[in-house]
């Protein structure tokens, strides 16, 4: 069984392990460590794709990636959010129920997104918001802790965006490297200097979510690619 694993698969398994360790840290009330482990998982999630494109691909790679991403990019960030706002919602039953419903909805959208990803895979763009982008957004909440009533609609919007038919551009090598630098800075600085690193990462992410589809649509129009060509 071990022989069928490629180097990319091993990196993918490390991603899942980091997500599991993040869950343990959430249960131990080590919020910042949990957030850092999830962000490290995001880095390995990007790395396994780079390695898979340059080296041998395995037959189980896509299945492993979906399972690992479910742990590190969906379950772990949602558990982190629940822990952060537990004291806020605990004393109000209706709010606790509402928060749980929103988190479950996000989980369901992640399951749909990750299980169908291989069927809609394209070289130049993503169908729907990547799970990794949603995960980064949710983890960054740990650094800023906005009011719960701001968080609930954000989670719903991100969840709907994941299963939408909106096209998001696939970042190139330079953009991915810049994102990796922002993520590493967020992990290493850990909220220092007025949260400048997570603030920069959040700003870049919001630009991608808001302007990415607009840029891609403009680029495709210039290339003369219609909507019908997207599904072929």
Q: Using CB atoms within 10 A of its CB, is residue 218 exposed (0-12), middle (13-18) or buried (19+)?
A: exposed
Which residues on adjacent β-strands are paired with residue 100? none
The residues of the chain scoring below 70 in pLDDT are 1-3, 56-57, 191, 193, 225-232
Q: How far apart are alpha carbons 37 and 30 in whole angstroms?
A: 11
Q: 66-95: per-residue pLDDT in tens?
A: 899 999 999 999 999 999 999 888 888 899
Contact residues for 31 (Cβ-Cβ < 8 A; gap 6+): 25, 80, 83, 84, 142
The secondary structure of residue 126, as a DSSP letter, is: E
Given a contact cutoff of 8 angstroms between Cβ atoms, the answer to whether 151 and 81 are in contact is: yes
Q: How many residues does the chain have?
A: 232
Structure tokens at 51: 């390695």
Match 């482990």 to its residue by tokens. Answer: 37
- What's the pLDDT score for residue 225? 64
The first and second tokens of residue 35, run together, are 């957030």
Provide the number of structural domains found in the chain: 1
pTM: 0.89
The closest of 174, 225, 182 to 200, measured between CA atoms, is: 182
CATH number of the domain to which 40 belongs: 1.20.120
pLDDT at residue 195, as a whole number: 83
Each residue's pLDDT tens digit, 101-114: 999 999 999 999 99
| Domain limits for position 52 | 2-230
- Closest by alpha carbon to 43, among 192, 182, 194, 193? 182
């Amino acid at each position: 069984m071990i022989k069928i694993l490629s180097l990319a698969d091993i990196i993918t398994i490390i991603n899942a392990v980091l997500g599991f360790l993040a869950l343990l840290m959430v249960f131990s009330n080590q919020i910042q460590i949990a957030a850092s482990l999830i962000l490290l998982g995001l880095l390995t999630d990007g790395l396994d794709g780079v390695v898979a494109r340059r080296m041998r691909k395995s037959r189980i790679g896509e299945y492993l990636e979906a399972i690992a991403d479910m742990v590190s990019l969906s379950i772990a960030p949602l558990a982190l959010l629940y822990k952060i706002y537990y004291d806020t919602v605990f004393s109000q039953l209706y709010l606790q129920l509402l928060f749980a419903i929103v988190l479950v909805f996000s989980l369901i959208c992640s399951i749909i997104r990750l299980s169908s990803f291989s069927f809609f895979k394209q070289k130049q763009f993503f169908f729907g918001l990547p799970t990794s982008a949603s995960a980064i957004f949710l983890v960054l909440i740990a650094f800023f802790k906005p009011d719960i009533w701001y968080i609930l609609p954000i989670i719903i919007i991100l969840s709907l965006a994941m299963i939408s038919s909106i096209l998001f551009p696939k970042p190139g090598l330079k953009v991915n490297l810049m994102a990796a630098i922002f993520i590493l800075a967020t992990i290493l600085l850990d909220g220092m200097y007025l949260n400048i690193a997570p603030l920069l990462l959040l700003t870049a992410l919001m630009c991608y979510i808001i302007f990415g589809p607009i840029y891609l649509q403009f680029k495709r129009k210039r290339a003369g690619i219609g909507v019908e060509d997207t599904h072929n």
